[in-house]
Structures are given as structure tokens and as C-alpha cells.
Amino acid sequence: MKFDPITKDVFTDQGEFIKQLYCPYKMNWAALEGTDSNRRKCSNCDHFIINTEHLGDSELLKMVKQNPEVCLKIDLNQDNVKLTSNGSFGQK
């Protein structure tokens, strides 16, 4: 996956737009209620946040298509993340 830390846009490696990340609560992963290592629950909005560290592009696309409001955790140091800027790798 490709991630633009400025716009918070997430794309597949092929440049297909997946989602723009936004959290009004700016929650810290460690402060969320743990359910398992790949999913935690936010006590402010009751949404589950999915850890994307071990997900591929097809899994992310499927997840977001099934639930466009899904919350994602992306760490800039993940092995499956390539940083980009200005949305240069895809079209919304």
C-alpha cells in the first residue's frame, strides 16, 4: 500500500485510491480497548480500528468496500507501506 502522510490518502501499490484517513479523536493505538492484535475498539466512537500491518492491498480494498467507514491504523514504519506525497500515486 502507498500512504500520503500529508493528505492521509491510502492507495494500492498500483495507485488505486482506497481511503482517506480521518479521526476526529486522534486516538493512540495503545489507549484503545484491545480485542486482539489486529483490531481494537475506540471508546469515543465505538468503531473498531483495524491494524493494517499484515494486510495486502486486496484485503484492504475488500474491507473498505464492505464498510467505507472502517477505521485503519497505519504505522509509517510498516513493511507493507510505501510513503508518497501529494497523492502522486493515484486518483480519487
Model pTM score: 0.84
Residue found under cell 491494524? 51
Residue found under cell 497523492? 87
| Inside any domain, residue 73 | yes
Residue 33 φ/ψ region, left for φ over 0, alpha for ψ in the -120 to 50 degree band, beta for the rest: beta
Beta bridge partners of 11: 2, 17
Q: Report pLDDT for 31.
A: 84
Torsion angle (degrees, nearest 10) of CA 24, 28, 33, 36: 120
Range of the structural domain that residue 19 is part of = 2-83
| Inside any domain, residue 72 | yes
Q: Report pLDDT for 86.
A: 63
| Inside any domain, residue 77 | yes
| Inside any domain, residue 89 | no
Residues lower than pLDDT 50 in the chain? none
